[in-house]
């Protein structure tokens, strides 16, 4: 390899002078189309390729693009759905404020431990609804709404 070729590869070009595409700089669609156009422009005129291959590649590319669009739409719908579910859970959890509940939560050892307390507040943290309980021993602790086991009748737990 000549020194000029080494320099050109260091500066993002191949030995033939073609720019090297860095990952993430262009979409796969753009890269595919550039490769296809390059392949068509540089084919050997004495040994042409079957034109049906290009049509097949374009059809596959079109299908891939439609699947990517569908995937983006599904991700959007999932996001909207998750937002609706979190809002619904938050609304339901907020009706527990002031009520005595029981929760079952994993401790540091990976074992379930039951806690009882009065719901002080509810919030959304990292997309999860959490209950803030004032436990029977006076400690205030947060639990995920999904850890709720039971809503008790009013017991006098000291505030």
Segment holding 100, helix H or strand E = strand 100-106
Three-state secondary structure of the chain: CCHHHHHHHHCCECCCCCECCCCCCCCHHHHHHHHHHHHHHCCCCCCCCCHHHHHHHHHHHHHHHHHHHHHHHHHHHHHHHHHHHHHHHHHHHHCCCCCEEEEEEECCCCCEEEEEEEEEEEEEECCEEEEEEEECCCCEEEEEHHHEEEECCCCCCCC
pLDDT recorded at residue 6: 43
All domains in the chain, ordered by first residue: 3-42+50-87 (no CATH), 97-151 (2.30.30.30)
Q: What angle do CA 35, 24, 12 make, to 5 degrees?
A: 65
Model confidence pLDDT, tens digit, residues 4-37? 444 444 456 676 676 665 655 556 677 777 877 7
DSSP code, position 132: E
76 has pLDDT over 70: yes
- Of the listed ranges 7-11, 76-80, 94-98, 133-137, the least confidently predicted one is 7-11
Say how far apart CA 140 and CA 157 lie, in whole Å: 13
Mean pLDDT is highest, among 22-36, 49-63, 80-94, for 80-94
């Amino acid at each position: 390899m000549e020194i000029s070729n080494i320099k050109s590869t260091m500066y993002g070009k191949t030995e033939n002078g073609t720019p090297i595409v860095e990952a993430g700089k262009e979409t796969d669609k753009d890269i595919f189309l550039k490769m296809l156009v390059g392949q068509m422009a540089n084919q050997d005129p004495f040994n042409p390729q079957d034109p049906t291959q290009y049509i097949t590649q374009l059809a596959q590319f079109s299908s891939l693009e439609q699947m990517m669009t569908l995937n983006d739409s599904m991700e959007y719908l999932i996001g909207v759905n998750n937002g609706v579910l979190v809002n619904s859970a938050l609304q339901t959890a907020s009706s527990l404020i002031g009520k005595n509940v029981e929760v079952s939560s994993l401790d540091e050892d990976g074992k379930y431990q039951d806690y009882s307390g009065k719901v002080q507040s509810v919030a959304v943290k990292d997309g999860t609804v959490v209950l803030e309980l004032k436990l029977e021993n006076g400690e205030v602790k947060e639990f995920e709404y999904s850890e709720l086991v039971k809503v008790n009748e009013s017991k006098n737990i000291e505030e």
